Structure 1
């Protein structure tokens, strides 16, 4: 039996609570499906930054390069600027390991009412495919004349043929295996260089996937349609910034950002992929035992699927659906009183 080595980075805040919960679920489902998992835990976090001046050691990528996958909790803490925590840990891992696909599944579960009255279970089930390593989040730019009236900030967006093509191809292939529908997010009526380039490459790759019906929507109209008619979407592909915004909006539509998972994928598997909930570190509730572990658990299920265990992954997501639809067990963000431990134990009982 092949043993999968998983690098655990609990991070900050509730990340240190939801990652152990996800591991308990992983161990339960692994035992039933004959999967061998081994964990190595790394203390990379804002706490480490405050103590040692860096989110992770200089050789951090080398320390986890040989792992089969990475499970991350959350990053961020009061007193440490967000750009420090992001560029000190997440972005080096995403870019260093060419995790150019950010996959964000969105689903309205029975038992978790959406804030939209028309967003019903079974009707809303789509995926946002976000370009994850270039686009608007480029490093090119700078600040001039700090503190003076003419102070200037310049940030360059970088879109490459290779970068756009590979994420768009991934989205088309995903759509081909689902309902065969894809929507591309753009803003080519206002952003004159990068977005027309994006549109041209989407059309080019779309011609190679005749089984997929696709269209494009300007990002402002698309955000409105996410709210007005989320059930119309299946696969949505977007640039780094647009995908970031759309996927958080979609998670809120599903009822709680606390249940939303994400995968940072290197599809070629030359490097480990990273899986993480998207709820953030939530320092206001950290240490109180009330964090919702579903985002981390669903992320762990995505990790199992990536590692070649779709049945085990399906068992976890089925258990999530059953727990929410047949019990009143809820953490406070979902309107209940269950602790993280109680909620996790209830899910393990179903497994």
Structure 2
């Protein structure tokens, strides 16, 4: 007897710029809503979103408007952790102090410490020496973009904003931002958003489905079915279709 099919409620929020192009929905969220109401989100959005299992987010932000990015958190469990900090900013020492307290609980994990400016050099020169980097939102927001570029394109990276208590839905998004310079050109790389969807499924316990999506992404990349930022010739829709072909 096969297991019953589970269904989930997913809040798809495309936001601004290429977020609308990589997330197939268009609720009233983002700069367009801000211009009308003075708010990026409705006042009751926490209550509204609490009824969902997860959030698939595109991007928000536009020139001349206040912006903010959520903290990005890794979703893997590798054997080496690096912490980044600026030596002249005392508040960052609290993160290192916390890691010192909990490191005894993970004897198989190697810990290291790196100045954030030196970290940029290490990432470029010795990327294979790094598994996971832990730091404050400001540092990791910058370093994660560098990591995505080193991997091939900022358009392929996903991020997760997790609520470990699961009291509220966790949010998954590509890291590329709204990218208004390429909006409506049809050239945005959809992989970051699709990868975010795979991460979302893994978080919801649908590991097999998540793996299938990742395999489809890999297949499309192996076939060079890519957008221009990765040396290909496909537009956003065509690249998405190639991943779907590999999936189905």
The structure showing larger relative contact order (alpha-carbon pairs under 8 Å, at least 6 residues apart) is: 1
Q: Given that residues 14 and 59 in structure 2 are in contact (C-alpha distance below 8 angstroms), is that contact kept between their aligned partners in structure 1?
A: yes
Matched, 1:305 2:198: no
Matched, 1:185 2:155: no
Shift of 1:2: 2.9
Q: Secondary structure at the match of 2:216?
A: helix
Against the structure 1 CA distance between its residues 195 and 54, is the aligned structure 2 distance closer, same or farther, given a 3 Å change threshold? Answer: closer
State the match for 1:320 in structure 2: 217
Q: 1:60 aligns with which of 36, 42, 45?
A: 45
Shift of 1:41: 5.7
1:221-236 to structure 2, matched below 5 A, reads 221-236=118-133
Q: 2:58 aligns with which of 56, 65, 73?
A: 73
Separation (CA, whole Å) in 2 of partners of 1:102 and 1:235? 12
Q: Secondary structure at the match of 1:61?
A: helix
Q: Given that residues 95 and 135 in structure 2 are in contact (C-alpha distance below 8 angstroms), is that contact kept between their aligned partners in structure 1?
A: no
RMSD (Å) for aligned C-alpha atoms: 1.8
Matched, 1:103 2:82: no
Identify unmatched segments of 5+ residues in structure 2.
none
Q: Secondary structure at the match of 1:4?
A: coil
Which deviations, in whole Å up to 9, do the C-alpha atoms of 1:150-180 show, x marking residues without a partner? xxxxxxxxxxxxxxxxxxxxxxxx53xx3x2
Matched, 1:17 2:21: yes
State the match for 1:342 in structure 2: 238
Matched, 1:44 2:44: no
Matched, 1:275 2:172: yes
Q: Given that residues 73 and 161 in structure 2 are in contact (C-alpha distance below 8 angstroms), is that contact kept between their aligned partners in structure 1?
A: yes
Separation (CA, whole Å) in 2 of partners of 1:341 and 1:197? 45
Separation (CA, whole Å) in 2 of partners of 1:196 and 1:61? 32
Separation (CA, whole Å) in 2 of partners of 1:242 and 1:289? 31
Q: Given that residues 72 and 141 in structure 2 are in contact (C-alpha distance below 8 angstroms), is that contact kept between their aligned partners in structure 1?
A: no
Q: Given that residues 185 and 216 in structure 1 are in contact (C-alpha distance below 8 angstroms), is that contact kept between their aligned partners in structure 2?
A: yes
Shift of 1:102: 2.5
Shift of 1:337: 2.0
Shift of 1:226: 0.6
- Say which is worse superposed, 40-49 or 308-317, in terms of deviation: 40-49
Separation (CA, whole Å) in 2 of partners of 1:195 and 1:13? 33
Separation (CA, whole Å) in 2 of partners of 1:12 and 1:70? 16
Q: Secondary structure at the match of 2:180?
A: coil
State the match for 2:225 in structure 1: 329
- Specify the structure having the higher radius of gyration (Cα): 1
Q: TM-score, normalised by structure 2?
A: 0.91
Matched, 1:198 2:113: no
Which deviations, in whole Å up to 9, do the C-alpha atoms of 1:36-63 show, x marking residues without a partner? xxxx863201011112221121111211
How many residue pairs get aligned? The number is 243
Instruction: Considering fraction of residues, name the structure with more strand.
Output: 1
Which deviations, in whole Å up to 9, do the C-alpha atoms of 1:46-92 show, x marking residues without a partner? 011112221121111211111000011111223x42xx243xxx65x
Shift of 1:214: 1.1
Shift of 1:248: 1.1
Q: Given that residues 7 and 42 in structure 1 are in contact (C-alpha distance below 8 angstroms), is that contact kept between their aligned partners in structure 2?
A: no
Against the structure 1 CA distance between its residues 271 and 45, is the aligned structure 2 distance closer, same or farther, given a 3 Å change threshold? Answer: same
Which deviations, in whole Å up to 9, do the C-alpha atoms of 1:92-137 show, x marking residues without a partner? xxxxxxxxx62247xxxxxxxxxxxxxxxxxxxxxxxxxxxxxxxx
Identify unmatched segments of 5+ residues in structure 1.
21-39, 92-100, 106-173
